[in-house]
A and B are shown apart, each in its own frame.
Chain A
Amino acid sequence: MNCSEAERLLNPYVDGELDLITAVSVEEHIAGCEGCSLQYQNIQELCREIAEADLAFSPKAGLARRVAAARRRAIAGLTPWWRRPATLAMATAAAALVLLFVPVRLLRTGAVEDRDVLDNHLRSLMASHLVDVPSSDRHTVKPWFQGRLSFSPDVPDLSAEGFVLTGGRLEMVRRAPAAAIVYQRRAHVINLFVAPVHEADSPPQAQTNEGYNVVAWTKGGLRYWAVSDLNSNELMHFAQLVRGR
């Protein structure tokens, strides 16, 4: 290896970019050549100085925020308007309204209040918002309603009869707050809605809406609606159990 070859390879040698064979030849040349050896030491010394000079700048704290904001704008620009979160939420809400109200309104044959309870039932199944207070303990669910409602619905324990208490939540029936007590029988959810009324007591009456069974009755100034996709016989049995307590 001559000096001009070695000089060309000195930098890659210092940077560890040479294969072993070439690196060894460079080393051999340096060992026997004062000029190249000096140049080699100079490069090493320079690299050491550069390393010590600390070339790194620290970006200001705001830079990351700035870049993140720019990225968000880029995402917004990329997303077609019909897929942006806001649009999606509105579309979902609109679709839910159409789903919940239009068919029920068009096809329903029952009373006005049944529309409320059926809507509530459907919504509770769709929105994964079945219960506000999840509990199988009636002593947890019943007190939960106190203070949230102007009346105190009874929360019977029917587990022995195969109706398992799941929890409770608040609903609106006839534009007034109502209790929704949730039971389950096998895979079927039963929403038991309870709201105060100024009506005389009446026995359970069954009807079918949209493939859902509704059993409604009045007792002690409270109106009850049991709504479920459970078959009408079992739902009536459930209604009688609740009414009997």
Chain B
Amino acid sequence: MLQDRSTHFDDMLWPHLRAAYNVARWLVRNDHDAEDIVQESFVKAFLALDRFRGGDARVWLLAIVRNTAMTLLRRRRSEASPGREEAFDLPDPAESIEETLIGAEHRNQVRAAIERLPGEFRETLILRELEGLSYKEIAGVLEVPVGTVMSRLARARNLLMRDLMAARGA
């Protein structure tokens, strides 16, 4: 049974290591916590494999990643270090100076604007834009109705547009 579990683990979860890391990374906005979350999530997934009832292993894994990240963020917040969650890594300013291309500056603006999005909008947007999940899959990860995914995604994009326009002085 343990052998089966290990094989399943390798087949179903291992290919999504990168996706798991990226979702965690965008949720907690730093590498160190993201790695911790990925490690914890994979162990949780491994231990819970027999409860996995088929379907998309990636959605299942990302839901675990997301819950693990939420737990960490909540704990951080209750540890009463105000603004800690907001202390995200901004793009390295040196990059912006050296990169003379407007395109590069735009890319940094987009990334920074996404990092500034409130968590619920950020996670929805990342699952859609980076992981390419469908609304239904996102709903599965976030454990919310599809309608909520739709409205959060619309709200996330509106916020981004406003933020980018402000940043570009338009």
A residues bordering B, Cβ < 8 Å? 8, 10-12, 15, 17, 42-43, 46-47, 49-60, 63-64, 66-67, 70-71, 73-75, 78-79
Contacts and interface: CB of A to CB of B under 8 A. Distances in A.
A49 B42 contact: no
Interface in B22-66: 22, 25-26, 31, 34-35, 38-40, 42-43, 46-47
Contacts of B42: 67, 70-71
B157 interface: yes
A8 B151 CA distance: 8
B106 interface: yes
A43 B40 CA distance: 36
Interface of B: 2, 6, 9, 17-18, 21-22, 25-26, 31, 34-35, 38-40, 42-43, 46-47, 103, 106-107, 110-111, 114, 125-126, 128-130, 134-135, 150, 153-154, 157, 160-161, 164
B22 A49 contact: no
Interface majority SS (helix, strand, loop, mixed), chain B: helix
A55 B103 contact: no
Contacts of A17: 134-135, 150
B107 A53 contact: yes
A180 B71 CA distance: 65
Contacts of A57: 21-22, 25-26, 31, 34
Interface centre among A8, A50, A57, A60 (most CB of B within 10 A): A50
Contacts of A58: 18
Contacts of B128: 15
A56 B150 contact: no
Given A11-B154, A66-B39, A74-B43, 17 more contacts: A12-B135, A12-B150, A46-B164, A49-B107, A51-B129, A53-B110, A54-B107, A55-B111, A55-B126, A59-B18, A59-B38, A64-B17, A67-B42, A71-B42, A74-B47, A75-B2, A78-B2
Contacts of B18: 56, 58-59
Nearest to A59: B21
